[in-house]
Structure formats: structure tokens, C-alpha cells
């Protein structure tokens, strides 16, 4: 069905909804409003990124139920993968789309981690392929985004373990950018021959170049070029069709522009932007993936990774192994260029060349890895650890008579302890506090890298220098029973995607959620 949608989309580009997942992560627009397709032809009803996501999730559910009538989809444990750099709102909207599609028992997992789980599933002897102190770099170049992840090989009680240490920032740079660059290259050749394309033909060419690129990148093909046909205009719709082709040398030349040979000290370039722009996705201003990789490997070490990540004299994180994922990396040229750049950096830092981890389908790895992770959650596989780097606290205002000029003292309740693993939760049922609902309120949070022994439920009276205050959360929590003070206890959840969810649970079962990111990012 996906292949059919690709072909049909190239034919009717003005009706094609694309990059819905990237639009889910774009905070400058209302992601629940009807804005896709962005360049819709007149008369086409647009839909929101959330609705678009729900549509293809709904299709997957229907396909499952048709193939497995004796095992209904709603009875299954569902894993949905998202980019590692998705923010809290993008994850929340993904969950909303899944709920609208009828998904239950839902767990989200980062795509680079899923790709690594697929490698684990294929290699039961993984402990013989890596050793303590190794550092695995996962590079995932998808259709719309590029994700980086670092996974360390550690040891506990003599057994090797895996720990996810860091993920990169959200980079809207991937196969879509390559496709557009190819379309411009082909359009320039047509223009030189006297054929000018309008915006709709250019959109169609963009989609045709995507299909042609995938054919040329297919390891099974030996073709040196792929034909491309564009429909004409008006009454010459068929007879005036434009025939051209995408050549392999064009593809490699364009890819080289995305993977320049740069030193590890060269960071992404911030270009001067026009004061007025069309509303669109915040694509990376610098298309050089290798510069973004250098920036990721030079990010400051967090408290937990400081003694785990091996770094060179310049501070560059120096991986021992690399795992590729994503359709663009089908191309041997792309994989080899990344290896050449990375190995050049490692040589300068005094380390040996990185070792590729092979043996997985670049297109199916995320799906297979998600299924493996589902089994691992039930003790049937290896889980990647990702313990939080700090202890976290929520501020509790002391009950006392009001005094002019003197605010009520604040205490700090520990809600998550240093090292708490992602994918786990803890109840704090023995303490109750009053939660303000039905009116705007400010919630203050604190963290500490020093106080590692404060178990959830510990109440700190003196907010000394060991606690660092985070940005406050201002929110109005709603209740059908009106406003006021509701006695609640707390439940803390650290999700697989690195979010701390603090649930306030009332005696009658009502629940309210506050959340923020505890993940080390660029």
C-alpha cells in the first residue's frame, strides 16, 4: 500500500499529504488545524497533521484485523516509534492520533533505539561483538529527519549491559531534502534545454525524484538512470508530457553536497534569514549532515555520561561502532562517505577506525526492533538502559498564615531518584498534598546531580545549594467538579522516550499529568 501511495502521490502532488510526522513536531503552527497539504490545489479539503497521522494508523489497524481475525488489534500490545528528538507535545499528539485510530495498550519508542534493538534481535551473540567501554553511534537518516543516538556498553556484576546516553536535537534534514535537491538538478537541465516547470510540475518532479532515487539506491539494481515523466499543462496534459531521467552520477553528486568532508570542529552554519517567510517546516538551514554529526559528538557530557563516553583530547565523543538506519543509507556511497569523515576525526583524536554493525534491513529495522523491544519488556530480550541523570523534585508550598512581604516557605518533594530507568514508574501513596484545579497555577520543579539517595517521597525542608530550580510550569488543570483544592498523592512515570510524567491522583481516581524532558540532548 505504501508503494502505491508513493506512485499515486507523484501523479497528484496537489492532493498529497506528506511529512505529517514532521509537522507534528513544528511548534510554530497549530498542529491540530487543517493545514495539509500545504500547497493544496483549489477545492481540496485540508486536514491536520494529527488527523493525517490518525488516518495511516487507522489503516494499519484495519490491515491487521483483516489478516488476523482471531487476534483483534485491540487485544495486542502496541509499539509506536517516533523520532528520538520528538518533544513532549509531538509525543502527546502522536498519542492522541493513535487513540483516535483505536489504539490501546500503547507504548512509544525512539526510532534509533528500535533500530539497535533490531540488531540485537539478529545477533544473539552481541556480547561477543562488543565489550565494556565500547560506544555505539546510531545514525538514522529518514525521509524527513536525521537522528543521532549514543549507546554505551557497560558492565554490572560481570554482565555486559547497554545504556542509552544521549540523543541529538530535532534536525529536519533527510531524504526529503535530497529529493528536492535532485528535483532542482533535473529542473536545471530541463531549463537549459528550454523547458520551464511551474510550481505544480516542480512538486510532481520532487515526488518523481523520490521514486527514482529509491530505485537507484536499491542494492539489487544496476541501472545507471531512471526515466521520469511529467504531465503537460492544460489541453496538452498527455500529449505535452515531459520526459527526462535521473542519472546515478547526478544522485551521487547531490549526496556529496549533503556529506562534505569537514573537520570535527566545523559546526552547522546559521544562515541569515529573510524577515518574512511562508509558513512551512523549520528545515535545517545547513544541509551538511556531517556538520550536524560533529556538533552532536561535541555536545557537553551530562553527569551520567562523563565517565562513560570515551572522548578524544579535543573533547570529541569517539564511537567504537556505528549502526546505520534509514533508506538513504542503502547507498554504499553514503555509508562510505560517513565512515571516511568519522574515521578521519577518530584518527586525529588518536583512536582506531569505527567498526560498522551490519546485518539488518535498513528499511524494516525500526519495525522489527520495536517488536523485539515489546518482547524484551516481558523479559524475553535485552533492554537498553537509560537511567535519568538527576534526582527530581516538585515544590510544595508550606501551609501558614499570610504575612505581608514574606512568601510561604517552599519544601521539595522527591518524585524521581537518580538512575531511575526509563520505562518504569513509582507510586508515592503515603503522602497527600493539595492540588489547585480550575484556576491558573504555577508548579515549580527542582533537580540535583548531588543528592542521589533521595527516594521518591522524601520531603526536603531546606532548599540548599544542592537543588537547581528548573523552569516553572504554568497550567490550568481542569475538573468537571469545579475549582478548588483536591487532596492527591503522586505517581511518577519515566517514559521510554525520556519524559518525566508526574501524575496527581485524587482519592476518587481522577488524574492530572504534568511532564517535562529529562533526556540529555544537544
* 68 domain-assigned: yes
Asked if 10 and 131 sit in the same domain, the reply is: no
The set of residues, in sequence order, having a beta carbon less than 8 Å from that of 461 and lying 6+ positions away, is 411
Final residue of a structural domain among 385, 405, 434: 385
For 254, phi then psi, to 5°, come to -65, -45
- Over range 211-233, report the average pLDDT: 85
What whole-number distance in Å separates Cα of residue 514 and Cα of residue 500?
A: 8
* CATH number of the domain encompassing residue 147: 3.30.420.40
Asked if 510 and 494 sit in the same domain, the reply is: yes
Number of folded domains in the chain?
4
Q: What is the pLDDT of residues 42-93, one digit of tens each?
A: 778 899 999 999 998 999 999 999 999 999 999 999 999 988 767 777 888 8
Region of 228 (left: φ > 0; alpha: ψ -120 to 50; beta: rest) is: beta
Asked if 179 and 169 sit in the same domain, the reply is: no
What whole-number distance in Å separates Cα of residue 65 and Cα of residue 84?
A: 29
User: Can you give the pLDDT at residue 2?
Assistant: 67
Final residue of a structural domain among 366, 385, 404: 385
Does 118 have pLDDT greater than 90? yes
Asked if 349 and 439 sit in the same domain, the reply is: no
Final residue of a structural domain among 352, 385, 418: 385
* 522 domain-assigned: no
Asked if 460 and 492 sit in the same domain, the reply is: yes
- Over range 482-509, report the average pLDDT: 89
User: Can you give the pLDDT at residue 237?
Assistant: 46
Asked if 205 and 138 sit in the same domain, the reply is: no
Q: What is the pLDDT of residues 314-350, one digit of tens each?
A: 999 999 999 999 888 888 889 999 999 999 999 999 9
Classify strands 106-110 and 242-247 as parallel, antiparallel or unpaired: unpaired
CA triple 453-459-463, angle to 5 deg: 85
Asked if 144 and 218 sit in the same domain, the reply is: no
Asked if 406 and 342 sit in the same domain, the reply is: no
* CATH number of the domain encompassing residue 234: 3.90.640.10
Please state, as a whole number, how many other Cβ atoms lie within 10 Å of the Cβ of residue 303: 15
> Cell digits for 203?
512538486
Could you tell me how far CA 11 lies from the centroid of its own chain?
30
* 266 domain-assigned: no
With beta carbons less than 8 A apart as the criterion, state whether 476 and 440 touch. yes
158 versus 174: the higher-pLDDT residue is: 174
Mean pLDDT estimate for the chain: 85
Q: What is the pLDDT of residues 445-483, one digit of tens each?
A: 998 877 888 999 999 987 777 888 887 888 899 888 878
Q: How far, in Å, are 65, 173, 186, 192, 316 from residue 298 at the CA level?
A: 47, 19, 37, 43, 5
Classify strands 384-385 and 159-167 as parallel, antiparallel or unpaired: parallel
Asked if 197 and 142 sit in the same domain, the reply is: no
DSSP class per residue in 61-121: HHHHHHH-TTS-GGGS-EEEEE-TT--HHHHHHHHHHHHHTT--SEEEEEHHHHHHHHHHH
Asked if 98 and 124 sit in the same domain, the reply is: no
* 410 domain-assigned: yes
Does 440 have pLDDT greater than 60? yes
By residue range, what is the domain housing residue 36?
2-104
For residue 128, what is the enclosing H or E element?
A: helix 126-129
* 267 domain-assigned: no
Does 313 have pLDDT greater than 70? yes
Asked if 468 and 321 sit in the same domain, the reply is: no
What whole-number distance in Å separates Cα of residue 396 and Cα of residue 199?
A: 57
* 92 domain-assigned: yes
* 496 domain-assigned: yes
- Over range 434-450, report the average pLDDT: 89
Q: What is the pTM of this model?
A: 0.79
What whole-number distance in Å separates Cα of residue 163 and Cα of residue 150?
A: 9
Asked if 124 and 195 sit in the same domain, the reply is: no
Angle (deg, nearest 10), helices 289-297 and 332-349: 40
* 235 domain-assigned: yes
Amino acid at each position: 500500500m505504501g508503494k502505491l501511495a508513493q506512485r499515486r502521490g507523484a501523479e497528484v502532488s496537489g492532493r498529497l499529504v506528506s511529512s505529517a510526522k514532521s509537522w507534528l513536531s513544528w511548534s510554530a503552527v497549530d498542529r491540530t488545524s487543517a493545514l495539509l497539504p500545504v500547497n493544496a490545489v483549489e477545492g481540496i479539503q485540508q486536514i491536520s497533521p494529527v488527523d493525517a497521522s490518525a488516518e495511516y494508523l487507522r489503516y494499519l489497524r484495519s490491515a491487521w484485523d483483516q489478516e488476523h481475525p482471531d487476534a483483534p488489534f485491540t487485544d495486542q500490545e502496541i509499539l509506536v516509534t517516533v523520532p528520538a528528538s520528538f518533544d513532549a507535545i509531538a509525543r502527546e499528539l502522536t498519542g492522541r492520533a493513535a487513540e483516535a485510530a483505536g489504539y490501546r495498550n500503547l507504548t512509544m519508542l525512539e526510532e534509533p533505539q528500535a533500530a539497535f534493538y533490531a540488531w540485537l534481535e539478529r545477533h544473539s551473540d552481541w556480547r561477543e561483538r562488543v565489550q565494556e567501554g565500547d560506544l555505539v553511534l546510531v545514525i538514522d537518516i529518514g525521509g524527513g529527519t536525521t537522528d543521532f543516538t549514543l549507546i554505551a556498553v557497560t558492565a554490572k556484576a560481570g554482565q555486559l549491559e547497554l545504556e542509552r546516553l544521549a540523543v541529538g536535537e530535532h534536525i529536519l534534514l533527510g531524504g526529503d531534502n535530497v529529493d528536492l535537491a535532485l528535483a532542482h538538478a533535473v529542473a536545471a537541465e530541463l531549463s537549459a534545454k528550454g523547458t520551464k516547470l511551474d510550481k505544480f510540475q516542480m512538486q510532481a518532479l520532487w515526488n518523481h525524484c523520490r521514486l527514482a532515487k529509491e530505485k537507484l539506491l536499491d542494492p539489487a539494481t544496476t541501472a545507471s538512470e531512471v526515466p521520469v515523466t511529467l504531465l503537460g499543462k492544460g489541453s496538452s496534459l498527455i500529449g505535452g508530457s515531459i520526459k527526462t531521467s535521473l542519472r546515478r552520477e547526478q544522485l551521487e553528486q547531490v549526496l556529496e553536497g549533503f556529506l562534505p568532508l569537514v573537520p570535527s570542529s566545523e559546526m552547522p552554519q546559521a544562515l541569515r534569514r529573510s524577515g518574512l517567510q511562508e509558513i512551512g517546516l523549520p528545515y535545517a538551514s545547513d544541509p551538511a549532515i556531517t556538520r550536524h554529526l560533529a556538533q552532536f559528538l561535541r555536545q557537553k557530557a551530562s553527569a551520567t555520561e562523563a565517565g562513560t563516553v570515551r572522548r578524544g583530547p579535543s573533547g570529541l565523543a569517539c564511537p567504537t561502532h556505528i549502526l546505520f538506519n534509514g533508506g538513504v543509507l542503502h547507498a554504499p556511497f553514503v555509508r562510505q562517505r560517513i565512515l571516511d569523515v568519522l574515521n578521519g576525526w577518530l584518527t586525529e583524536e588518536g583512536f582506531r577506525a569505527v567498526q560498522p554493525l551490519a546485518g539488518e534491513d535498513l528499511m524494516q529495522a525500526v519495525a522489527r526492533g520495536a517488536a523485539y523491544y515489546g518482547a524484551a519488556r516481558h523479559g524475553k530480550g535485552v533492554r537498553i538502559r537509560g537511567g535519568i541523570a538527576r534526582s527530581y523534585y516538585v515544590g510544595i508550598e508550606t501551609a501558614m498564615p499570610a504575612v505581608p512581604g514574606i512568601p510561604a516557605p517552599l519544601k521539595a518533594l522527591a518524585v524521581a531518584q537518580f538512575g531511575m530507568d526509563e520505562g518504569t514508574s513509582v507510586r508515592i501513596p503515603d503522602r497527600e498534598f493539595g492540588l489547585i484545579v480550575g484556576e491558573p497555577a504555577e508548579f515549580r520543579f527542582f533537580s540535583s546531580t548531588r543528592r542521589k539517595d533521595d527516594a521518591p517521597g522524601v520531603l526536603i525542608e531546606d532548599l540548599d545549594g544542592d537543588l537547581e530550580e528548573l523552569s516553572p510550569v504554568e497550567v490550568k488543570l481542569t475538573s468537571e467538579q469545579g475549582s478548588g483544592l483536591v487532596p492527591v498523592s503522586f505517581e511518577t512515570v519515566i517514559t521510554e522516550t525520556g519524559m518525566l510524567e508526574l501524575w496527581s491522583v485524587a482519592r476518587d481516581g481522577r488524574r492530572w499529568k504534568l511532564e517535562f524532558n529529562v533526556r540529555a540532548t544537544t
